[in-house]
Structure 1
């Protein structure tokens, strides 16, 4: 049954079920997987640190996918909804890459991933209810902050961790494109207090996700 025929409650449950399904490890598309070079030898400390950073990135992709699905659920304009769902689909690819890299590093995603999804979905729906232009502005600011965050990870990853670097670099490029597309579609600049609140919430998530 198409989502357009679902009741609001059924549509919400369908989105949440999709989120839970997306957290289950699945096959990664090898053709699109950015990590192609072999790593140099990483010692135990470097592997642990790289895994912590990639776990943070995984949590961020869980949240991004949920944000966009929450926003899409309440979007008024079909074009805006399609834009958000396309972005969510690409975030799913990023999620798969991070999952694969965590497995390679002998680690796993944050145990709080379901919480990240549910919380971000609620925030996304709230942002969407403010109107499509504000919703797109929220996308733009989210991607701007994620891009800065990924740049910081590039400076923190061990020099020999080429595979994680290739993943993060591709994600950073994709996030910048998402943000520009949202601005081109009419996204509004968010007020400074809201941008600060978003940074504070992200800080809580990244700190918890790094630890596991």
Structure 2
């Protein structure tokens, strides 16, 4: 079987296609949503808006995750690390699709600033990759740790009866923990001060904005 090597133009076009899929909120999940088969709960208007705001944050977080992984994979030094990053990105695509579906069920929409979030995250991912694979993998570890923490917070903040959103976030949390452990096992290093703190601050800004816009 002949395997065609992608040219720089091919890679650029593939990257553009991935970006459009992530930003448009129309990716195809490989796994069924954990919420499939769960009856929609009765939410009042305030609860529905709050649940939608939280799921919009999580959708935006998955847009950023796609961009980060693709930016890191584009400049990864080792081929096996590149494949590892792309595999993790595929699982993040499931998360993106599940969050987009949940937003539709809540009669809401993704963040209007997703193109901006994607572009910034791709640049950050590429910059991390330029520092070398150990740092890039360490960036994955720290990112997933912070995501797992904010998912735990959202599980507490969701309306008690919104089981559909809850099971989606629980599966996402499981996957994020596994991604962090895998990146650490592949040689991810601890990021130096103040990078984790800066990542946390930027995450807080994104969450505050995406909840409403």
Alignment size in residue pairs: 210
- Conserved in 2, the CA contact under 8 Å of 1:102 and 1:108? yes
- Conserved in 2, the CA contact under 8 Å of 1:28 and 1:100? no
Counterpart in the other structure of 1:148: 149
Shift in Å at residue 204 of structure 1?
1.1
Counterpart in the other structure of 1:211: 212
Which digits, 9 at most, give the CA deviation of each residue in 1:97-121, with x for residues without a partner?
Answer: 0000000000000011111111100
Q: Judging changes above 3 Å, is the alpha-carbon distance between structure 1 residues 188 and 200 closer, same or farther for their aligned structure 2 residues?
A: same
Q: Judging changes above 3 Å, is the alpha-carbon distance between structure 1 residues 73 and 86 closer, same or farther for their aligned structure 2 residues?
A: same
Structure 2 Cα separation of the partners of residues 21 and 116 of structure 1: 14
Shift in Å at residue 25 of structure 1?
4.2
- Conserved in 2, the CA contact under 8 Å of 1:136 and 1:183? yes
Q: Does 1:56 align with 2:53?
A: no
Q: Judging changes above 3 Å, is the alpha-carbon distance between structure 1 residues 3 and 166 closer, same or farther for their aligned structure 2 residues?
A: farther
Matches within 5 A, 1:15-34: 15-26=15-26, 32-34=32-34
Structure 2 residue runs without a partner (length 5+): none
TM-score by length of 1: 0.93
TM-score by length of 2: 0.93
Counterpart in the other structure of 1:107: 108
Shift in Å at residue 14 of structure 1?
3.3
Q: Judging changes above 3 Å, is the alpha-carbon distance between structure 1 residues 4 and 126 closer, same or farther for their aligned structure 2 residues?
A: farther
Q: Judging changes above 3 Å, is the alpha-carbon distance between structure 1 residues 37 and 211 closer, same or farther for their aligned structure 2 residues?
A: same
- Conserved in 2, the CA contact under 8 Å of 1:16 and 1:118? no
Structure 1 Cα separation of the partners of residues 130 and 107 of structure 2: 41
Counterpart in the other structure of 1:165: 166
Counterpart in the other structure of 1:14: 14
Structure 1 Cα separation of the partners of residues 199 and 4 of structure 2: 30
Q: Does 1:83 align with 2:84?
A: yes
Shift in Å at residue 32 of structure 1?
1.6
Structure 1 Cα separation of the partners of residues 30 and 96 of structure 2: 14
Which digits, 9 at most, give the CA deviation of each residue in 1:140-162, with x for residues without a partner?
Answer: 00000000000000000000100
Structure 1 residue runs without a partner (length 5+): none
Structure 2 Cα separation of the partners of residues 32 and 175 of structure 1: 17
